[in-house]
Amino acid sequence: MKKSDLKTGMIVEFRNGKRGLMFFGTAIGNYGGISSSNIREDLTSTYADDEDDIIKVYQPNETENYCAEINYWIKNDFKQILEYSELLWERKEEKLICTIDGVEYSESTLRSIIKKVHE
C-alpha cells in the first residue's frame, strides 16, 4: 500500500501503537493529528525516528451511525471499531536485532540509526 491509496475514513496504526482516522490527508486521533505531508509514499515517517511509520491500514465497515460514532472511536483509540474493520494492509518486516560489543540493538533503534545516516 502507498500513501496515495489512503482514503478518508480509513484507520491507520502507527509503530508506536497510536491510531488515527484518515480525514482529508490527516490522521486524526486522541493525540491530535499527523499530516500526510509527514508521511512518505511508502508510509514511513519523515521524522528522525520511526515511531510514526504506518504499520497497518484498516477499512471500517460502515454502520448507519458511522458519523455519530467517529468521536467515540477517536476518544477510545479505535479499539471497538477494529473488531468490525477489515485489515487492508500490514507492513511486513524482518526483525533486525544486532549485538555489537555486547550491546543489543532493537529493531526500532537500528531503524532510527539507518534513517539518520541516510538524511
Domain annotation covers residue 119? no
Q: What is the pLDDT of residues 1-42, one digit of tens each?
A: 999 999 998 999 999 999 999 999 999 998 888 999 999 999
pTM for this model (two decimals): 0.75
Domain annotation covers residue 62? yes
- Can you give the residue range of the structural domain that contains 43? 3-93
Report the C-alpha gap between 2 and 10 in whole angstroms.
Answer: 13
Domain annotation covers residue 112? no
What the block records as the C-alpha cell of 56 is 497497518
Domain annotation covers residue 15? yes
Query: Could you give the percent of the chain with pLDDT greater than 70?
Result: 92
Domain annotation covers residue 99? no
User: Counting Cβ atoms within 10 Å, is residue 69 exposed (0-12), middle (13-18) or buried (19+)?
Assistant: middle
Domain count, the chain: 1
Domain annotation covers residue 105? no
Residue 59's DSSP bridge partners are 86
Domain annotation covers residue 110? no
